[in-house]
């Protein structure tokens, strides 16, 4: 499963780089068209890869299963970054 996430991250990053260079859609058209969609996907893939070991740790430490571990990681992320989610 880790190989899948690393491959997905690599493809997303390569696509973003290709889109920023104009990636076959014309000079600059790739960046204008695809970057607003691909940047969040690339960032989400990197964050998912980074948090996967944390979820695995909590899943092994707790008896709540994968769902409980994911919720716990989200709660911890919100607690650590309070300035990011306030309106």
The domain limits of the chain are 2-85
Please tell me the predicted confidence (pLDDT) of residue 44. 83
- Integer Cα distance of 24 and 33 in angstroms: 12
- Integer Cα distance of 4 and 37 in angstroms: 20
Dihedral pair phi/psi, residue 65, rounded to 5°: 90, -175
Please tell me the predicted confidence (pLDDT) of residue 7. 79
- Integer Cα distance of 49 and 42 in angstroms: 11
| 25-75 tens-digit pLDDT | 554 555 566 677 777 887 888 888 888 888 888 888 877 788 888 888 888
Interval 19-30 mean pLDDT: 55
Count how many residues are written for the chain: 87
Name the 3-class secondary structure at 83: helix
Please tell me the predicted confidence (pLDDT) of residue 86. 61
Q: Given a cut of 60, is residue 83 above it in pLDDT?
A: yes
- Tokens 């990011």 belong to residue: 84
């Amino acid at each position: 499963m880790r190989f899948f996430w690393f491959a997905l991250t690599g493809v997303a990053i390569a696509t973003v780089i290709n889109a920023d260079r104009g990636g076959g859609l014309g000079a600059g058209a790739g960046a204008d068209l695809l970057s607003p969609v691909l940047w969040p996907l690339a960032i989400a893939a990197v964050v998912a890869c980074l948090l996967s070991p944390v979820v695995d740790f909590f899943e092994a430490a707790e008896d709540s299963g994968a769902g409980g571990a994911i919720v716990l990681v989200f709660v911890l992320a919100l607690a650590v970054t309070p300035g990011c989610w306030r309106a």
